[in-house]
Amino acid sequence: MAETPAAPDRDAIAAAIATPPAAPASGAREQGGFRDPAFTANRNAPVHRWAPWIAGYSKHFVEDALARHATAPSVVLDPFAGVGATLVEADLAGHEAIGFEINPYAAFASRVKLQAHHADARALRCAIDDFEAFGRTVESAGVAPRSAPPSGFRTRTPFYSAKVLHKVLLALDFIDTLAEPLVRDIFMLAFAATMVDYSNYSYEPSLGRKAAVGRPNVVDSPVFDTLAAKVRQMADDVEWHRATRAQPERPDGRLLVESFFDGYRNLPAGSVDLIVTSPPYLNNYHYNRNTRPHLYWLGFCTTPDELKRLEDLNFGAYWQNARELDAVELSPAVSAPPIQEAIAAVRAKNPDRGIYGGNGWANYAARYFNDCGRFVEGMRWCLRKDGTALVVVGNSILQGVSVPTDEFLALIAKRNGLRVAAIHTPRDTRVGSSIVNSRVPGSGRLYESVVEIHA
């Protein structure tokens, strides 16, 4: 039977965060002059289209953010950079871009995109011609590949069919011969961006077997053609990037492959003008498991322990790591009554369901909000006086309990000495399978907000 979600007292939240103009806890949300942050818009945008990222946001949103909040050359930070939408846009517009990212594959994608203007499009196109010629020769001659699949990468169903695997390994043999590091990196990124398409897996939106969602396995696929087409598109974008990037002599944007929580104190205090970011949502989306093929096949990860290390570093960690713990406490920095109440409501749900009941989800949420506290501390360290942070975040529904993550983040920011100017809602319905374990049909609406915070 459908159940009304237990919502924390919204008036109490509004009273707690109210700073004119008030964050609209009552539902009177404004679009705020931002275009839809959904990543889909990046699928056709030069350079952004190099690597899809399921939880990325659109270049248009970043353009709007920069146009409104970085009118002079600025230092722009993304503490949770993903595949670099903020960094690429900020760098193109002439700002100093700095990002943190724990996932080495996402960090690699960001770094290659930020370096696009250094690549030689002509050399890239020559390499594509050689690649295609190599493919034609080795495929017809039945050559045995020298490359091998990553030994630590295990899957329930073979990731590639025998025919596809043969072609993939031959393609990697060719990439291995490329002497110019950036040309090689661009080919590797093309492989990473397409590798799941010709595998027996797909994103639904988590990585799973095609067969499990009624799709056929991939027996054969024109791997060389797919890769050549992808790199050809990237060569066009290299030219575009070089022609478009403001003040070409400037240093490149920087990407630091470490947790923001460990690294932010290495930035000079008060040195950042604008933060544009989207931390992981409270939806248990597993960035690291979902990029296992990329992490293993590109050599960023060789054992499950390395993957586990990334899980522990992840903002909020994961429900799987919290479900067996006794009650996780909220830290003093975040322990506001509305947050306590929401977590208590989740904890009280389904006690008979053991690790699948409310306690595990409440633990995960408590860790998540504790990390919101660390994030706020990081913002306070990095932002200059009157600097701005625009934080894109989606709400959650846990075990049928509505959790307004955006409002809670605003509350935590306010409690810890930052000003909350507004909560904008450029996208008021979010689709997807993010209602984690709510088990309650129709238990509320998912939306996405931009929390505007000032130092």
Ligand X SMILES: C[S@@+](CC[C@H](N)C(=O)[O-])C[C@H]1O[C@@H](n2cnc3c(N)ncnc32)[C@H](O)[C@@H]1O
Binding residues vs ligand X (CB under 6 A):
53, 55-57, 79-80, 82-85, 100-103, 106, 259-261, 278-280, 287, 313-315
C-beta closer to ligand X: residue 55 or 272: 55
Least distance in Å: CB of 424 to ligand X? 16
CB-CB contact of 139 with 170 (8 Å): yes
Least distance in Å: CB of 295 to ligand X? 11
Least distance in Å: CB of 132 to ligand X? 31
DSSP code, position 57: B
C-beta closer to ligand X: residue 56 or 426: 56
Least distance in Å: CB of 451 to ligand X? 14
Least distance in Å: CB of 158 to ligand X? 27
Residue found by looking up tokens 């594959």 in the block: 105
User: How is residue 358 written in tokens?
Assistant: 């409310």
Least distance in Å: CB of 48 to ligand X? 8
C-beta closer to ligand X: residue 37 or 150: 37
Least distance in Å: CB of 259 to ligand X? 4
CB-CB contact of 48 with 116 (8 Å): no
Q: What are phi and psi of 301, to 5 degrees?
A: -150, 135
C-beta closer to ligand X: residue 338 or 394: 394
How far apart CA 260 and CA 109 sit, in angstroms, is 18
C-beta closer to ligand X: residue 8 or 84: 84
Collapsing DSSP to helix, strand or coil, 184 comes out as helix
Q: What is the DSSP string of 94-105?
A: T-EEEEE-S-HH
Adjacent-strand bridge partners of 255:
99
Q: What are phi and psi of 244, to 5 degrees?
A: -100, -30
Identify the burial level of 417 via C-beta atoms within 10 angstroms of its C-beta, where 0-12 means exposed, 13-18 middle and 19 or more buried: exposed
User: Which contiguous run of DSSP H or E holds residue 91?
Assistant: helix 85-92
C-beta closer to ligand X: residue 350 or 370: 370
How far apart CA 422 and CA 78 sit, in angstroms, is 20
C-beta closer to ligand X: residue 127 or 237: 237
Q: Closest by alpha carbon to 262, among 97, 82, 100, 86?
A: 100
Q: At what angle do helices 10-17 and 337-347 cross, to 10 degrees?
A: 150
Residue at shortest CB range from ligand X: 82
Least distance in Å: CB of 273 to ligand X? 18
Q: Closest by alpha carbon to 347, among 358, 332, 337, 355?
A: 358
State the Cα angle at 220 between 217 and 223, rounded to 5°: 115
Strands (E), 107-218: 201-203, 207-209
How far apart CA 149 and CA 364 sit, in angstroms, is 35
How far apart CA 233 and CA 260 sit, in angstroms, is 33
Q: At what angle do helices 162-176 and 121-141 cross, to 10 degrees?
A: 140
C-beta closer to ligand X: residue 280 or 357: 280
Least distance in Å: CB of 176 to ligand X? 28
C-beta closer to ligand X: residue 199 or 290: 290
How far apart CA 348 and CA 162 sit, in angstroms, is 50
C-beta closer to ligand X: residue 151 or 266: 266
C-beta closer to ligand X: residue 273 or 448: 448
Least distance in Å: CB of 70 to ligand X? 16
Least distance in Å: CB of 86 to ligand X? 6
